[in-house]
Amino acid sequence: MIPHKLVPSSHGVDVRHSFAGAALVRPLSRRSALRQFGLAGLSLFAASALAPAMADEIVGLPLPSGPRERPTTHDFPQKGHMILQRTRPPLLETPMEVFDRGVFTPNDQFYVRWHWAVIPNSVDVNTFRLAVRGHVNKSLSLSIAELLKMPRVELAAVNQCSGNSRGFYLPRVAGAQWAHGAMGNARWTGIRLKDVLDLAGVKAGAVQVRFDGLDEPVVTDAPDFKKSLDIDHARDGEVMIAFAMNDEQLPLLNGFPLRLIVPGWYSTYWVKMLSDIEVLDKPDDNYWMAVAYTIPDTPHANIAPGQTGVKMVPINRMVPRSFLTNFAEGSSFPASTPSSVRGIAFGGDNGVARVELSSDGGKSWRPTALGKDYGKYSFRQWETKLALDKGNHALMVRCTNLAGDTQPASPNWNNGGFMRNVIETVQVAAA
Amino acid sequence: MRKQLLAIGCLSAAMLAATPALVQGLPSIKSTTVDLPPGDSMFPGGAAADAINNNCLACHSADMVLNQPALPKATWEAEVHKMIHVYKAPIDDADVPAIVDYLASMKGAQ
């Protein structure tokens, strides 16, 4: 047990107030951290950081190599049972069984991913302001109350991390070692980004719109996390500023009070704690657009490991995926008994046309029945009955979207571990 | 006539209220304050972990690093240099070899 007072902690922080009225928690300066570490006597801390006191239990992710074990936790605010990938800044994964319980992912089990550790732990909705500025006729500073008076829209959409399933990449790549739970589906309620931009009046010559949230790097000259969309995309009437998910205000760790919703696009663009909208008259060359979250400009963003000299482009539209949710890897299946096999699928930037199942390693495919359609950007449940002879079977599930894109039979690879959408296989033992 | 107009007004208000965008009551958006877990566990390994514990934990907890698969030493060197040059981690040059050695020994390719 670590003596509490010797432990550097994000409770030992300076609290300051930002322009937006949110209290920012700034972790210890390096100097004070060093002082505290030095006092602690480093050799005392032999306990594994993988088994913190906060762990509820250890789960095994079906990754191709270790470490597969992750603690689960209930220790994050407004969050229930989650798989702990990183404590600070938080990376929390949704357990697969949550996707078996319904087409919408509950807020308290919706995955969490932050880049920088300076995350406001308090937001006052009365003083919070959303700035709209840059290449506009009139800069705006909008309160939550003003935003709530604007025409309201609602949309079901999947939010998926660019690196969801990165842990399955072979060869393995550095980064968050997610299984498949860095995704979720919610009903987002908010206002159209277009309406907010129209209120400010976009000037001729606008090229992109850049989005920034309240989170900040610990080191002040590190690149603040900002993302941009092309102006036509930003004004397409689908991109939203959400203030509610699944009919409740956003959990703080999912972006309270406002989050950008970019239907059909990877979550890197869904800026959390959205506080600043800047219309640009030239393309955004900031690190998070020009370098980070770029993918090879090749089919399926696929290259050979070690391949260099490839043109890179910002990651963008999602691609179809599907998952079996009521049988985990290696689970047993009742032999010779027709059993329900079910799961979820999404079409990426288009609706789900069909989901098919194979129980013979992909040689033959059978159709499945699709559940209620909540719109082209939502999860879609699928189900079929299957009887299996005694023995081991590889169950594969494949989604085709309304544009005719089908999940590929072989996995892609790139240095970032982005855009996995290979047909997934679950091994079951019928007995 | 005025009464009639009023009635029509009420009726259209009711009809408007029946459209999905308006029947929904205003969601209550309430100020929120939370506590986040500190994530202050140290890297294991005693003195071999001094450099990584001294330099890396101000920005992120140890757990994600320990969740990484085995990676070549060159990958770990690149990761540490990315932290310094891109993410501006204030790491003493003298500590870099010890950090890379620690990562390669804990998480080196077989």
Over the stretch A370-388, which tens digit does the pLDDT of each residue have?
A: 999 999 999 999 999 999 9
pLDDT at B110: 52
> In terms of Cα–Cα distance, which of A192, A189, A239 is closest to A349?
A239
Residue A105 to residue A158: CA distance in whole angstroms: 9
Task: Write the secondary structure of A24-74 as one string of H (helix), E (strand) and C (coil).
Answer: EEECCCHHHHHHHHHHHCHHHCCCCCCCCCCCCEEEECCCCCCCCEEEEEC
- Helices B96-107 and B73-85 cross at an angle (nearest 10°) of 140
Residue contacts between A and B (CB atoms, under 8 Å) = 189
- Around Cβ A326, how many Cβ atoms within 10 Å? 16
In this structure, chain A runs to a length of 431
Chain B residues inside the 8 Å CB shell of A7? 38, 40
Residue A354 to residue A357: CA distance in whole angstroms: 10
Pairing of strands A274-280, A129-134: parallel
Percent of chain A's residues with pLDDT above 70: 87
Interior/surface letters B75-99, b for 16+ CB within 10 angstroms, e for the rest: bbbebbeebbeebbbebeeebbebb
Residue A273 to residue A257: CA distance in whole angstroms: 6
CATH code of A321-430, in short, is 2.60.40.650
The residue in chain B having the minimum alpha-carbon distance to the alpha carbon of residue A68 is: B67
> In terms of Cα–Cα distance, which of A124, A50, A203 is closest to B63?
A50
The answer to whether A407 contacts chain B (CB < 8 Å) is no
Residue A42 binned pLDDT confidence (cut-offs 50, 70, 90): very low
The answer to whether A46 contacts chain B (CB < 8 Å) is yes
- Least confident window among A36-45, A249-258, B46-55: A36-45
Query: Which residue blocks in A261-398 are alpha helix, DSSP H?
Result: 287-290
pLDDT at B17: 34
The pTM (predicted TM-score) of the whole model is 0.87
CB-CB under 8 Å, B26 with A148: yes
Mean per-residue pLDDT, A254-274 = 98
Q: Which residues contact B97 (CB under 8 A, 6 or more apart)?
A: none
pLDDT at A380: 98
Pairing of strands A82-86, A91-93: antiparallel
Residue A329 to residue A341: CA distance in whole angstroms: 13
- What φ, ψ does residue A64 adopt, rounded to 5°? -70, -20
Mean of the per-residue pLDDT values for chain A?
89
pLDDT at B15: 36
CB-CB under 8 Å, A177 with B67: yes
Residue A54 binned pLDDT confidence (cut-offs 50, 70, 90): low
Tokens representing A136? 């506009």
Q: What is the signed CA dihedral for B85, B87, B93, B99, rounded to 10 degrees?
A: -120
Query: Which residue blocks in A72-189 are alpha helix, DSSP H?
Result: 144-148
Tokens representing A366? 């059978």
Which of B59, B75, B76 has the highest number of chain A CBs within 10 A, making it the mutation to test binding with A? Answer: B59
A13 contacts B36 by C-beta, under 8 angstroms: no
Closest Cβ opposite residue A177 in set B37, B49, B68: B68
Degrees to nearest 5, angle at CA A219 with B88 and A270: 95
Chain B residues inside the 8 Å CB shell of A126? 31
**What are the Cα distances from residue A411, in Å, to A184, A186, A298, A317?**
22, 27, 14, 18
Task: Report the topology of domain A30-292.
Answer: Sulfite Oxidase; Chain A, domain 2 (3.90.420)
Residue B11 binned pLDDT confidence (cut-offs 50, 70, 90): very low
CB-CB under 8 Å, A7 with B30: no
Does pLDDT of A278 surpass 70? yes
Work out the minimum CA distance from B14 to partner chain A, whole angstroms.
17
pLDDT at B28: 82
Q: Which of residues 212-271 of A touch B (CB under 8 A)?
A: 217-219, 221-223, 243-244, 247-249, 252-253, 256-257
Chain A residues inside the 8 Å CB shell of B41? 2, 45, 47, 49, 52, 87
Q: Which residue has the higher pLDDT, A311 or A45?
A: A311
A243 contacts A189 by C-beta, under 8 angstroms: yes
Chain A residues inside the 8 Å CB shell of B27? 189, 243-244, 247-249
Residue A203 to residue A186: CA distance in whole angstroms: 34
- What φ, ψ does residue B13 adopt, rounded to 5°? -65, -40
CB-CB under 8 Å, B50 with A45: no
Which of B31, B65, B82 has the highest number of chain A CBs within 10 A, making it the mutation to test binding with A? Answer: B31
Tokens representing A352? 């789900």
Domain ranges of chain A: 30-292, 321-430
- Around Cβ A46, how many Cβ atoms within 10 Å? 11
Which residue do the tokens 């566990």 mark? B41
Q: Which of residues 2-61 of B touch A (CB under 8 A)?
A: 20-21, 24, 26-47, 49-50, 53-54, 57-61
B102 contacts B45 by C-beta, under 8 angstroms: yes
Tokens representing A323? 């998952």
pLDDT at B109: 78
Chain A residues inside the 8 Å CB shell of B30? 125, 249
